Structure 1
Amino acid sequence: MLTVLLVCLSGALLLHGYTHHLYGTAPDGAATAGGPHNAVPAAIANGGPVIDAGTASARSARPKPRTIAITFDDGPDPVWTPKVLDLLKAQKVKATFFVIGTEVAAHPELARRIVAEGHQIGLHTFTHANLSTIPDWRRSLELRQSQLILAGATGVSTPLLRPPYSSGPSALTNADWSSIEWARHAGYLTVLTTLDSEDWRRPGTAQVIANSTPKGTAGQVLLMHDAGGDRTQTLAALQKLIPTLKARGFRFATVSDTVALPQPVQPVGVVERSRGMAVIGAMRLSDGTLDVLGWLLYAAGALSVLRAVATVIAAKRHARERYWSWGEPVTEPVTVIVPAYNESAGIEAAVRSLVASDHPVEVIVVDDGSSDGTADVVESLRLPGVQVIRQQNAGKPAALNTGLQAASYELVVMVDGDTVFEEDAVRMLVQPFADPSVGAVSGNAKVGNRKGLLGRWQHIEYVVGFNLDRRLFDLAECMPTVPGAVGGFRRSALQRIGGLSDVTLAEDTDLTMALCRDGWRVVYEERARAWTEAPASLGALWRQRYRWCYGTLQAMWKHRGAWVQRGQAGKLGRRGLTYLLLFQVLLPLLAPVVDVFALYGLVFLNPLRVGLVWAGFMALQVGMGLYAFRLDGEKPGPLWSLPLQQFVYRQLMYLVVSQSVFTALAGSRLRWQRMERYGSLAVPPASLTSPAEGGDRRRREGSAAGRRSKDFPGSRTFTG
């Protein structure tokens, strides 16, 4: 479905771009023909303005003496064509209108009026293209589509053609003659001019009249315009010219009448008219699509800027409060639960990092029916304080509930089996529980395997996307997700809401939202850092994010009642769920529109302007990235890959959201997508933090601990 929508969108934009931005907008006379003319037959160059370039012998026809065919190019125009028609009706004069296909599609009622009032109609191509310079396939497209649109709008077809940028027969070049011959083979008669009013120059009414006045009694084909700009001078000139020429004995007629041709305009059948109406409908749909895209583009831009401003302001304020004391330091032991299903690749590093914690912990590894010997690996380590529980495969929520039942302590930390904790991570994670209103704490999950390009991109997303959002959620007291990789909970709070549920695929988001709706506050502790293993292939990344996104949509729908609740639940609903809906659902859905429109702009609009807009967007992203990396104590080096992220990774994330939304709307049930483990975090990743960074961090924590100790005399001071 998404592919079909994108194809239709691209088709609509291509149609709109072709019909509005690929043809020449300059007036006919502005482009002077040039080039050799030796291939033009002398009889044509010295002949009349109506040309039949037949295969046997080319011939032309001149208007009868004292007969003038007034012709109008470039219409119909919604402002000037009705005024021209009114004037011709008042003067009782018939004229010939050479119309542009795209303008007929935009104003079919004017084309119908031209025909209904007895005027003759001819083609001026589909998009005002220069037939002498374009390939045969585009010539065919220009004339065929013009004919179809004319049939759909008026129910008639015409063999009369005036090539854009043409003038009189004597000015024909070899290229012009080639296009005229091609048009004749396609069934068209070419109509050139003998008098050019040059009204497109707007030289003044008097000059337009002078240019349009015959010098003798010879018949004329007069070129004027009913579109393409201000035609006030054209109307004023006609108002005086027609009575003057009538007084001199001239009469006015259509092109075919001036050269004594049989009526060229003929009615079309139902099928042809239906096809023409379909083309007009497609063009109008493309115009409407671009209008909608324009508004969506503004919406996407506004949402992007709003999110950037909101997250940066929130992060700045959050950074000022990062050392705010929650109360007496929390020193009580903690139960760490590690749900594990086929985690043998990384479980040893995870468990060893937990045992090495500078805070007292018991570690419970719940083996959820692993087939790769995960439990055996843990038991073989014989680490003190580590307990292994084996159970039949029942899913991650069930494994966590099993661990909760076996937990010895009130404070519980939940850890994924591919995550390695820093030495002080558990201690930092549980300090907010000094506040009795806090029911859960989100830690700072970091990407450990960040050396490849995909790893760098995920590292940027974790730091710039996830962590900036968490700072904002923390300030707004509407944290929707405590990540499964590093999260702390009160066991009593979890028991009060019935433990973890398996009705969604994002059990961590579902659990966090349930705690918020139960009145608990959920906070973010950036200093509780754990290193997790990110997907190492696009396929694995797709499966992981598809599950996350779909599970988040499930959780949002499950807890939609929070929008109308009060207290902590209301904050989750009106702040957290609204934020998720706007910035993690609607904005990603709009983002492909931005990309498609950018491609449209590069092809059909001003590439420089599009490039400047993209550069501005990138500058905003880089600025956010630099600030987020500084807040997280990260080196900014990986940000060099941010521009590349816009061309692959960003689209992947948007497609994941789109597919998740379509899956949810279709009512499909997504199965659990387990990520492949690589065991890339073999040891606690102290080396991932540079010595300078680690020293700075220790000094910050020491300073913070000192402030806590000063505020609460006799409390224990942690130096890290």
Structure 2
Amino acid sequence: MTPVADFDVLLGITRALTSTMGVAFAAYLVLVVLPYLRHRPRPHGRAADFEWHFLLPCRDEGAVVGGTVRYLREAFPDAHVWVIDDDSDDGTVDVVHGFRDDPHVHLVRRRRPHARTGKGDALNDAYRTVKLWMGRHADADRAVAVVVDAGGRPARDCLDVCAAEHLFGDPGVGAVQVDVRVANAGVRQAGGPRWRGVLGGLLVRVQDLELRTAVAAIRLSRGTTSPDGDGRFARLSALDSVAGPAGRPWRGSSPEDPELGVRLLTAGWRTGFTTDTHVHQEGLHSLRRLLAQRARTGHGTMRGLRHVRRIWASPHLSASGAAKLTCSLVQPWSRLLATLVYPVPLLVLGQRAAHAPGEVWAWLVDGAWTSFAVYGMLGLLPFVLWGPVYRARCAPTTGLARAIGYGFLYAIYASACCLASWPAVARPARGRDRWAETCGNTERIAADVALDH
């Protein structure tokens, strides 16, 4: 094939991909971005109409669990807190024993070899324990289980918000996911070189941007969502309906597996998502630990494809609902595909430039550069636009230039997270299908101190 023919093929590929990306971007604006920008808060409900049970799965969380229990007891005095110790090797149990005089704080202990088999199993143990504690005649429609990470901080209004008429005030709603915010956004990491603190702070800021804009907008656009992150609320009667004879509502291999949400939706329950309240979690300063976390999250969602037949066979889901749910399960695979497809024109162009730089330069100057410019712009815009959106909705004191800069950082960050899809695929292929939790910054510091002593 002649160089001219090579260039024509390359230009054709670029234009085809550009056209596809342009249509996808327009749909993205209409279906995801604009509804998020137009969203307005809805009236709250009354938390007192329900009985609330916070479930805190813990494995070596002694550094943070005490503060979380104290916060929950002070912020939600009528709620019960169930700490599930997964046979911790640190002082987690001793910390919880410090609350033994509080009748609203309960310890669920798991011991090896039956412990450390996954967060789902730990939550199932807590579910069965709560059921026994409540008794046979308890009103499961009024009881709500709230899954919170050991370092999580639900907003003080979250129970009133989740009790609203369109959420648990609607008896057909079985589960609710609340917005997630990063508590340490804008807080520079202490210790270490200054450059590391700056980079770590930017990484945390971009995590907050992603959760509060892109992730929240996508969840709002779906109408139905799988409660698979921090701040998961589930009605006890909904859990009962999918628990089976063994009392196991959680059956996924990892906490990010969408199994529970799929089974609730296909059983006839509705699920909801709200940005009217939130739970704070700690952002990670380490890119390595963050990518490990995202690989674990992607792995859990990738496994969700095994539910596609159940989704489309369910009489309780409309065609659009089934399509939206399927799209959410396909998303990690589409990221994987993007890492292969998006670089193709650039790699081919680079290969040609290495062999005939003069020909490539003349071809670009002759007008081909416009196709590559549009291609690059459409690849960046779906990520960069979230910088100004973040400024408009979440951080109004941020300057516009800085917000645009955050958007470009988010594009780089999202590309790195796409690459994390590969270990999500490779890990089960190597026979390693069980994931450990990612240490937070506080836990990492505590571990480092312990090693020093």
TM-score bracket, normalised by the shorter chain, equals: 0.7 to 0.9
Aligned with 1:491 (options 219, 222, 236): 236
Match in the other structure for 2:19: 298
**Partner secondary structure for residue 461 of structure 1:** helix
Equivalent AA in structure 2 for residue 411 of structure 1: V
Q: 2:342 aligns with which of 594, 619, 638?
A: 594
- Cα distance between partner residues in 1 of 2:323 and 2:382: 27
CA shift for structure 1 position 627: 3.0
The one-character-per-residue Cα deviations of 1:329-373 (angstroms, maximum 9, x if unpaired) are 653331111111111222122222211224620101010111112
Contact kept? 2:177, 2:231, Cα under 8 Å: yes
1:652 partnered with 2:412? no
2:73 is aligned with 1:352: no
Q: Deviations over 1:491-536 (max 9, x none)?
A: 1111210133344324552111111111111011222311112333
Match of residue 153, structure 2, among 417, 420, 425: 420
Change (3 A) 1:518 1:528: same
CA distance in 1, matches of 2:303, 2:100: 40
Q: Is the 8 A contact 2:152 2:282 kept in 1?
A: yes
Structure with max Cα Rg: 1
Name the residue aligned to 2:110.
391
Structure 1 position 670, deviation (Å): 2.8
- Equivalent residue, structure 2, for 1:337: 55
Whole-Å Cα distance in 2 between the matches of residues 456 and 533 of structure 1? 11
Q: Is the 8 A contact 1:414 1:488 kept in 2?
A: yes
Counting only pairs closer than 5 Å after superposition, residues 548-627 of structure 1 correspond to structure 2 as: 548-568=297-317, 572-581=321-330, 583-587=331-335, 589-591=337-339, 593-595=341-343, 597-598=345-346, 604=360, 605=364, 609=370, 610-611=372-373, 614=376, 618=380, 621-627=383-389
Whichever residue aligns with residue 315 of structure 1, its letter is Y
What is the identity, as a one-letter code, of the residue corresponding to 2:433?
L
Distance in 2 between residues matched to 1:578 and 1:302, nearest whole Å: 17
Compare relative contact order (CA 8 Å, sep 6+) and give the higher one, 1 or 2.
Answer: 2
| Inter-CA distance 544–399: structure 2 relative to 1 (3 Å threshold) | same
User: With structure 1 as the length reference, what TM-score do the two structures score?
Assistant: 0.49
Question: Kindly tell me: are residues 400 and 620 of structure 1, through their superposed partners in 2, closer, same or farther at Cα, counting changes over 3 Å?
Answer: closer
Provide the rounded CA distance (Å) in 2 between the counterparts of 1:501 and 1:290.
Answer: 49
Q: Is the 8 A contact 1:626 1:636 kept in 2?
A: no
TM-score w.r.t. structure 2 length? 0.75
Structure 1 contact 564–573 (Cα < 8 Å) conserved: no
Aligned amino acid, residue 653 of structure 1 = C
Name the SS of the counterpart of 1:568 in structure 2: coil
Q: Distance in 2 between matches of 1:627 and 1:651?
A: 19
Q: Is the Cα contact below 8 Å between 1:347 and 1:417 reproduced in 2?
A: yes
Secondary structure at the aligned position of 1:519 is classed as: coil
2:95 counterpart of 1:372:
no
2:53 is equivalent to residue 308 of structure 1: no
Q: Distance between the aligned counterparts of 1:347 and 1:508, measured in 2?
A: 24
Indicate which of 655, 673, 693 corresponds to 2:436.
673
1:598 and 1:288, CA in 2 relative to 1: closer, same or farther beyond 3 A?
closer
Q: What residue number does 2:173 align with?
A: 438
Quickly say closer, same or farther: Cα 1:325–1:503, change in 2 above 3 A: closer
438-447 vs 351-360, which moves further = 351-360
> Which stretch shows the higher mean deviation, 302-311 or 391-400?
302-311
Task: Give the superposition deviation at 1:375.
Answer: 1.8
Check the 8 A contact 1:350/1:420 in 2, yes or no. Answer: yes
Q: Percent identity between the aligned chains?
A: 24
Offset of 1:549 from its aligned partner?
A: 0.7
Partner of 1:544: 293
Q: Please list, as runs of the form range in 1=range in 2, the aligned pairs for 1:83-232 lying within 5 A after superposition.
A: 102=3
Residue 496 of structure 1 aligns with an amino acid whose one-letter code is S
From the superposition, tell whether residues 518 and 461 of structure 1 become closer, same or farther in structure 2 (CA, over 3 Å): same
Residue 598 of structure 1: how far off its partner (Å): 4.8
Where do 5+ consecutive residues of structure 2 fail to align? 135-139, 187-200, 354-359, 446-453
Indicate if the aligned counterparts of 2:55 and 2:145 stay in contact, CA closer than 8 A.
yes
- Counting only pairs closer than 5 Å after superposition, residues 454-493 of structure 1 correspond to structure 2 as 454-474=203-223, 478-479=224-225, 481-493=226-238
Paired residues, number: 393
- Give the Å deviation of 1:473: 1.9
**For residues 636 and 450 of structure 1, do their structure 2 counterparts lie closer, same or farther at Cα, with a shift above 3 Å needed?**
same
3-state SS in 2 of match to 1:309:
helix
Superposed, which structure 2 residues align to 1:67-82 within 5 Å? none
Cα RMSD of the aligned pairs, angstroms, is: 3.4
Q: 1:357 to 1:421 in 2, by over 3 A?
A: same
Structure 1 position 430, deviation (Å): 3.6
Query: Structure 1 CA distance, aligned partners of 2:394 and 2:317?
Result: 28
1:448 is displaced (CA, Å) by 2.0
CA contact (8 A) 1:358 1:423 kept: yes
1:642 to 389, 392, 407: 407
